[in-house]
Amino acid sequence: MRTKRILCPGRLRRVPRQFSWVDHRLVREGHISRYSYEALALYLFLVTVSDAEGLSYYSDEAVCRLLGMGSTVLTGSRRELRTGGLIAYSRPLYQVLSLDKDTGDGRPRPECPAERHSAEAVSIGEVLRQMAGGAT
C-alpha cells in the first residue's frame, strides 16, 4: 500500500460552492480556452479519480489506456497542466490544485515545489529536504 503525501499543501482543493468538483471558474476565468483537448481530458480524468485532497496514483500506462492517448500526448498534456498551475505531479502522484489565487485571507498561494520546471536549478539541500518529506 502506498502512502499518500500532499505535494502542495498550500493549494489543497476544496469543494466549490456549486454542486461539483469541477470548478466553474475553469470556464469563467478562461482556463478552458488555454489548453488542448488532450490536456482537458487529462484534467477531467484527474478530477474524477482523485480523492478529497485532489490526490491520485494512476500509472502512465493506465491513463493512456483509459484516455486512448499515447505516452507522448500524455507527457505534453501533463506539462500543459503543470505549467498552467492546474496540477502538481511527482511520479507517480498527481495532485489537482486549487484554482484560488489566494489563501482566503488575501495572501497569495505559496508556490508548489512540484510546479517548478525541470530545467530550473535546485540545490542538493532542497532535493534532500523534499526526499525527506520537507523535514530539515
**Cell (9 digits) for 84:** 498552467
pLDDT band for position 136 (cuts 50, 70, 90): very low
Give residue 112's pLDDT. Answer: 73
Domain boundaries, the chain: 12-104
Q: Is domain 12-104 classified as CATH 1.10.10.10?
A: yes
**pLDDT for 37-57, tens place per residue?**
999 999 999 998 988 888 999
Q: Cβ neighbours of residue 116 under 8 Å, at least 6 residues apart? A: 122
Report the distance separating Cα 3 and Cα 13, nearest Å.
Answer: 19
Give residue 119's pLDDT. Answer: 38
Work out the burial of residue 73: count CB atoms within 10 Å of its CB; fewer than 13 is exposed, 13-18 middle, 19 or more buried.
middle
**pLDDT for 53-70, tens place per residue?**
889 999 999 999 999 999
What single-letter amino acid sits at 89? Y
- Please count the other Cβ atoms lying within 10 Å of the Cβ belonging to residue 126: 12
